Amino acid sequence: MTADQLIELISSRTSASLKRMEAPGPSAEELKAIVEAAAAAPDHGRLHPFRILEIPSDARNALGDLFAQVIQETHEDPTEEALTSAREKAQRGPVLLVMVGCFHGNDETRIPQYEQMLSAGAAMQSMVLVAHALGYASRITSGESARAETFHKGLGLAKNEEFLCFISLGKVADAKPAKGRQEAQEILSTWVPT
Ligand SMILES: Cc1cc2nc3c(=O)[nH]c(=O)nc-3n(C[C@H](O)[C@H](O)[C@H](O)COP(=O)(O)O)c2cc1C
């Protein structure tokens, strides 16, 4: 791959609509390459501040029940439609991953948590880029339910762990072009010492 092709690959990544995402998702071998890309993220102090949890297809109903349970706990009188919609969300995307932050506190390390989060963010981006290179669309989502204690427990996360996002991977018939991106000059400036 040339540098130009790599630049094109990075800038052509866009998020797909989960409703339009279809099978197949990445194979086990492709998923390994995607996860290895995460492991190549910069990691100050080699703290391993994230891990990836796969939600297999036979666990989607259980995930849907977990979403519905959170809705029931956080809304006074949820409608059947809201519960059905919560359950349906768990079925979307042929491959569904959860990015889990495993953050170390200042009792363990002098490396601040924001650096550990940046590491997880870099890993997330590497994963979707490798998926894109392999011909898969992706979407990162979180949602209100994901912040609930019930959800944390239901996923089996440890005390020092945090749900960071879902990563859904699959095929889309026609990827939509990127929009709303900043130009380089909007982000880049030059420091002038005072
Ligand atoms: C950690 C994280 C969580 C996100 N959660 C959601 C979400 O719950 N729902 C959503 O529509 N977009 C969510 N997004 C944004 C989309 O994944 C996507 O990045 C955004 O729509 C911009 O589209 P683009 O990636 O094609 O530029 C999230 C992004 C990040 C980084």
Atom of ligand 1 minimally distant from the CA of 13: 26
Separation of alpha carbons 59 and 61, rounded Å = 6
CA distance 138 to 88: 18
Domain ranges of the chain: 13-187
Q: How confident is the model at residue 146 (pLDDT cuts 50, 70, 90)?
A: confident
Sheet holding 161-170, edge to edge: 50-55, 95-102, 161-170, 137-141
Question: What is the per-residue pLDDT across 24-73, written as a single tens digit (0 to 9) for each?
Answer: 999 999 999 999 999 999 999 999 999 999 999 999 999 999 999 999 99
Nearest CA to ligand 1 atom 14: 141
Cβ–ligand 1 contact at 14 (below 6 Å): yes
Per-residue model confidence (pLDDT) at position 85: 93
Nearest protein Cα to ligand 1, atom 18: 15
Give 71-116 pLDDT, tens digit per residue.
999 999 999 999 999 999 999 999 999 999 999 999 999 999 999 9
For residue 130, give the H/E element and its range: helix 113-133
Domain 13-187 is classified in which CATH homologous superfamily? NADH Oxidase (3.40.109.10)
Binning pLDDT at 50, 70 and 90, where does residue 143 land?
confident
